[in-house]
Structure 1
Amino acid sequence: MNKTRVYGRTVGGLRSLSLQAPAVTLLLLWMLVPLGMTLWFSFQRYNLLMPGMSGFAGLENYEYLLTDPALWSAMGNTLLLVGWVLIITVVGGTLLAVLFQQEFLGRGVARVLAISPFFVMPTVSALVWKNMMMHPANGVLAWLANLFGLPAVDWFSSLPLTSIIIIVAWQWLPFALLILLTAIQSLDDDQVEAARMDGAGPIAVFFFITLPHLKRAISVVIMIEMIFLLTIFAEIFVTTSGGPGLATTNLAYLIYIQALLDFDVGTASAGGVIAIILANIVAIFLVRLVAKNLES
């Protein structure tokens, strides 16, 4: 009887593996082939403008990138962009989630309007902000400045990185709101009422009940947003093209410059490897942070 059971389990396991094998193989090929080609090109002299100069370059591409001030400027811009967008979306999303949890007239319509920017394509939202909101002559912000007697601001010339941060934060704030609003709806109303009966005010309820309850949801928001924010490209390409100078060039846009403007595939591949390493370091840190919050 035991042999029959063991045989049945073995056959069932082999059948499940045979069914899973094509999907797993395709997924591995989908991931490993591009990664392998990127690694291979990163050690090659491969510039499309100079086809005669080819061959094994060793660590020359990495040495060139690591000694290039543009890389460190791009990494600094990437960290500033990710950090400020996370601060704005997490803080703003938390406050908006608390606000939209309250009863008020037109709450359903307000929720839909607040979440809708997340469904706008990045290219479209960047064009809207560039031509309708932040235009120094015809934009809404310029009109408001003139209304109060203030000079109009040429956002993309004088405050380029701040402009990108505003655009990206406007896109991702609804995502944070959606996750945090869903989490806050699971908060036990009896716990809140008990705290109020004990004399706790709105601020105390927020800091000692609501905020600890949202701890896990905030960790998830930070993890998901950071993974996507490391690859911001369309907003920069449409608005500033990485300028003025390198003021808004992040790591993703620097790789684009090396690959598709300078046609230096080898250096661009080395930049891609550096980006992969950076993304994995961030991912490991975030996964541990989320796992720690889930365990607690």
Structure 2
Amino acid sequence: MSTKASRTAARLMISPAVILLLGWMIVPLVMTVYFSFLRYNLLQPGTTPFVGWENYYWFFTDPSFSAAMINTFFLVGGVLTITTIGGICFALLLDRPMFGTGIIRIMVIAPFFVMPTVSGLIWKNMFMNPVNGIFAAIANTFGFQPIDFFGQIPLISIIFIVSWMWLPFATLILLTALQSLDQEQMEAAEMDGARWISQFWHLILPHMARAITVVILIQTIFLLSIFAEILVTTNGGPGTATTNLTYLVYVSSLLQFDVGLGSAGGVVAIILANIVAIFLMRMIGKNLDA
């Protein structure tokens, strides 16, 4: 069979999966864009007049919009900072020979397999509860006033919970990159009298740069749509203290029953995610070419 015929056969065999995937993505996207131009309220069935850009206007002028955008960027930035730095530290720790390395690695990876809703409820009720939580019991033991995490520092609490879930992912990627480092370079640096901090700054960190970029890209795309942890812990409150863009879309669509307004917010979220993804992809491209 010729090369051209084999390529044609391969395309024919893969086409059903590609068509299904495109349909799975394009149909909801087209419907979301379509509804964003309608006054579509679930409390007023049968009346869906075309209103043009009105939904976008009301979404951008919503008093909660600016707070949601700020919270979204703080949430993404905070989680990326914690997981990237923590992932590097855990990768360096797990790369060293120690007793029970396999068990330790399983324990580090375990949080990534916990469902977001379950994770949020566990942290809310077992650890951060100001009356019956473990942190409250520790504070009372040492004579300190327990902290009402979701009342006093709600956004920081959400950042901590999400970071706990995403830290294993960053650790795995960075550990894989670290284990591919040429040990002869490290040994040569040690023989030349280089201190560990110099080895880390000039050898280890540049070698892990590509993996760090990949971690930031993948996590950013997913963190822009964080929802479950907010829903089961704070419901976006107090006020709008933990309302991000995704939760604002949920409020508009399912709590205020305004599908048109929520669809406009969904389109805005999609555009934002694509802008961030394109920017980070360019960063990755420059990093890979370096």
TM-score normalized by the length of structure 2: 0.96
2:246 aligned partner: 252
Aligned AA for 1:259? S
**2:153 partner amino acid:** L
2:153 aligned partner: 159
Number of equivalences: 290
Give the distance between the partners of 1:218 and 1:19, measured in 2 at CA.
Answer: 36
Gaps of 5+ in 1: none
State the AA in 1 paired with 2:209.
K
Q: In the alignment, which of 235, 238, 257 is matched to residue 241 of structure 1?
A: 235
Q: CA deviation digits over 1:187-242, x for unaligned, max 9?
A: 11111111111111111111111111100000110011111111111100100011
* Equivalent-residue separation in structure 1 for 2:172 and 2:59 (angstroms): 39
Amino acid at match of 2:120: A
- Distance in 2 (CA, whole Å) between partners of 1:28 and 1:108 is 40
Distance 2:192 2:141 in 1: 48
SS in 1 for 2:129: coil
CA–CA separation in structure 2 for the residues paired with 1:26 and 1:65: 32
Residue by residue over 1:223-278, the C-alpha shift from the partner in whole angstroms, topping out at 9 and shown as x without a partner, is: 11111111111100100011111111111111111111111000000000000000
User: What is the SS of the residue equivalent to 2:39?
Assistant: strand
Q: State the Cα distance separating 1:12 from its structure 2 match.
A: 4.3
The Cα shift of 1:35 comes to: 0.8
Alignment of 1:1-296 (within 5 A): 8=2, 11-51=5-45, 53-296=47-290
Structure 1 residue 138: deviation in Å? Answer: 1.4
What is the distance in 1 between the residues matched to 2:108 and 2:12? Answer: 47
User: Could you tell which deviates more after superposition, 108-117 or 157-166?
Assistant: 108-117
Q: What is the distance in 1 between the residues matched to 2:37 and 2:169?
A: 39
2:272 partner letter: L
Change (3 A) 1:27 1:108: closer
The 3 A distance-change label for structure 1 pair 31 and 138 is same
Q: Give 2:89's aligned amino acid.
A: L
> Once the 2 structures are TM-superposed, how far is the Cα of residue 16 of structure 1 from its aligned partner?
3.4
Cα RMSD between the aligned structures?
1.5
CA-CA distance at 1:113 after TM superposition: 1.0
Residue 141 of structure 1: how far off its partner (Å):
1.0
Distance, in Å, in 1 between the alignment partners of 2:273 and 2:187 is: 43
- Comparing 96-105 with 60-69, which one deviates more in the overlay? 96-105
Q: CA deviation at 1:279?
A: 0.4
More displaced 10-residue stretch of structure 1: 197-206 or 19-28: 19-28
Question: For 1:143-165, what per-residue CA distance to the aligned partner results, in whole angstroms no more than 9, with x for missing partners?
Answer: 22122221100101111101100
Q: Provide closer, same or farther for how the CA distance between residues 12 and 211 of structure 1 changes in structure 2, counting only shifts above 3 A.
A: closer
| 1:10 CA displacement | 5.2
* Deviation at residue 120 of structure 1 after TM alignment: 0.9
Please say which structure displays the higher CA radius of gyration.
Answer: 1
SS in 1 for 2:236: coil
Q: Partners in 2 of 1:18 and 1:142 — Cα distance?
A: 61
Deviation track 1:1-21 (CA, whole Å, cap 9, x = no partner) reads: xxxx9xx55544443333333
Instruction: Please tell me the residue identity of whatever aligns with 1:171.
Output: M
Structure 2 CA distance for aligned equivalents of residues 114 and 12 of structure 1: 45
| Aligned AA (2:243) | T
